[in-house]
């Protein structure tokens, strides 16, 4: 599972990766703010 940090929605890793190749937003809520400023964030779990 992979979590979108700005909205907290979780998706299957491959599904989210395929989506993000074509779209720059969360598949659920369409937020485009996909970045985080949390220095403790684990970037492997975007």
Is there a domain that residue 13 lies in?
yes
User: What's the pLDDT at 35?
Assistant: 64
The residue-averaged pLDDT of 9-19 equals 92
Is there a domain that residue 42 lies in?
no
User: What's the pLDDT at 33?
Assistant: 81
> What is the rounded (10 degree) CA torsion for 19, 21, 24, 28?
10
Count the domains in the chain.
1
Is there a domain that residue 11 lies in?
yes
- Whole-structure pTM value: 0.64
Host domain of residue 22: 1-30
Helix (H, G, I), strand (E, B) or coil at 13: helix
Is there a domain that residue 7 lies in?
yes
User: What's the pLDDT at 6?
Assistant: 87
pLDDT score of 12 more than 60: yes
Is there a domain that residue 35 lies in?
no
Mean pLDDT, the chain, rounded, equals 81
For residue range 19-34, list pLDDT tens digits in order: 989 998 999 999 988 7
């Amino acid at each position: 599972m992979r979590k979108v940090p700005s909205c907290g929605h979780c998706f299957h890793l491959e599904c989210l990766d395929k989506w993000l190749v074509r779209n720059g937003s969360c598949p659920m809520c369409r937020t485009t703010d996909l970045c985080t400023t949390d220095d403790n964030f684990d970037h492997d779990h975007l």
